[in-house]
Amino acid sequence: MPQWDMPPAELEAYRSDFREPDDFDEFWARTMAEARSHPLDLATQPVDAALPLLDIDDVTFSGFGGHRIRAWFLRPRGATGLPVVVGFQGYGGGRGLSHEWTMLPCAGYAHLVVDTRGQGSGHRVGATADPIGSGPHVAGFLTSGIRSREQVYHRRVLTDAARAVEAAAALPGIDPSRIVTSGASQGGAMSLAASVLSADLPNPPVAAFIDVPFLQDIGRAIRIVSTGPTREIAAYLRAHIDAEAEVARTLGYLDGLAFAARARIPASYSVGLMDDVCPPSTVYASFNRYAGPKHIDVYPFAGHEGGGAHQHARQLRYLREMLPD
């Protein structure tokens, strides 16, 4: 895949014509109030993963609707007062196995690895059910409930992500004043939304990693790519030719551009200029609208993998700068 989207200079200047719903703030305030009406009910259970230098727990907490969400909690054995990175998963993946997440604990951080409801049968195994069903939709998750802002699948997912920040602040051995959200692709969208939706907490995140984020400038994405999960929306609209206005309205409540405009904490973005899953222009649309301190790492010859391990190495250095001892 060549660099197929806008030239770099145009990407840097791109401003989307996305218009958020007038009641965006009211909708999400109500959604979070409903979620927080359920006790967080955080529970941890030690796990023997044959990793003697780490403490690992199987974590559960209440997300959207009080539904139980699973996570792994890893940290250096016996350590206290730790910063914690709350990590979210890419589309189709779950929290995986605990030994897949040793990098951050090895660097001296705690890591809460959050499962995604209903997913986790793709690139990593999952353990969290989504007890809410759906009407007719395209195979996958994006169009589940897509004609209703109340029923759309990712309303539940983004709410779960925000509640994960609450859970992180309550974990043993954590310094709740040093919480960072992190994720790539769908996880990048969750990191952005969670950091904004939890900004009113006593212990909000202090920084966010937003790598090759999905669900940004969605109206543009569904018109210029036919790969990755975005194709599910286009396929739905081919079948339901009368649904375009309803779908566009629903997606307005999920689009990362609305969350980016409300952000205030430092953010690290990344983009692959050959990405045909999350188009570079949609990533830049989010980055350019982000209202807090920010920088973006650009990988000219990368696709949706973005910087991969190179980006992880950079993030370790960023964490050291963001979260000094």
| Residues tagged active-site | 185, 275, 304
Strand, coil or helix: 36: helix
**Edge-to-edge strands, sheet with 294-299:** 43-46, 54-62, 68-76, 110-114, 82-88, 174-184, 207-211, 267-272, 294-299
> 65: which DSSP letter?
G
Strand, coil or helix: 68: strand
DSSP per-residue codes, 170-212: TSTTEEEEEEEEEEETHHHHHHHHHHHHTTTSSS--SEEEEES
Asked if 192 and 208 touch (Cβ cutoff 8 Å), the reply is yes
H or E element at residue 230: helix 230-239
In the chain the beta strands, taken as DSSP E runs, fall at: 43-46, 54-62, 68-76, 82-88, 110-114, 174-184, 207-211, 267-272, 294-299
Strand, coil or helix: 299: strand
DSSP per-residue codes, 82-121: EEEEEEEPPTT-----GGGG-HHHHTT-EEEEE--TT--B
